[in-house]
Structure 1
Amino acid sequence: MNRSTPQTAPLCAAPSLTPARGLGDAAAVAQQRVFLDITLQSDCHGKAGSPRDRLSQLLHSALGVYIIGTSVAGENVVVRFDIAAADVDFTLHMLITALPGAMIGRLVSRGV
């Protein structure tokens, strides 16, 4: 009698994983992001608060996660955003709603 060892199936299958991205894919993802600078100008009439007060408002809003840097230019504060291309509409809508007096700069593609 020829007895063969029964083959056992794995008890649980490993989850399906997506393959790791190569350098070409990483470059494509990075190109889908943009920088946006806005300027929070000082209000000579004092109605809207100081640029630093508006920066604090911005940092505590949903847009705070996109802020990557700030700088002071005279009495104004310049805020730099790093935004996914898919989020540009949302970001601009929120900026115009939250800070209608902010000067919005141009979108610049983020280099790799």
Structure 2
Amino acid sequence: MGIHADFVPNGSEALNQIEKQDYEIILMDCLMPILDGYETTQFFCRREKLALKEKKNNNPDSLVIALTANALKEDREKCLDAGMDDYLSKPIEIEHLASTLNHWAFKLVKN
């Protein structure tokens, strides 16, 4: 798929990594230790808005896609309410992941 990926073990380290490097698409596991994916996304969105105000953000259009084993409608809404842009439930089929990434990559290119 031609994608570069970085992996971190928890939400706190995800925030540290996001601070060091701009990402166009972030795949966020909802159930991580230290900070879960919901809290991590909320912190990230607040940081991104603040950086945009202070003109310190090179990439204000980072997308967050939730990865979760929870597949109920309420779970999807919880992800979107936390600031995530999309939602994939586990187990994830590679074709569905590729389709979702292509969808969002196309939108990023259009913008």
In the superposition, the TM-score normalised over structure 1's length comes to: 0.29
- Structure number with the higher strand fraction is 1
Q: Rg larger in 1 or in 2?
A: 1
In the superposition, the TM-score normalised over structure 2's length comes to: 0.29
Q: Which has the higher contact order (CA 8 A, sep 6+)?
A: 1
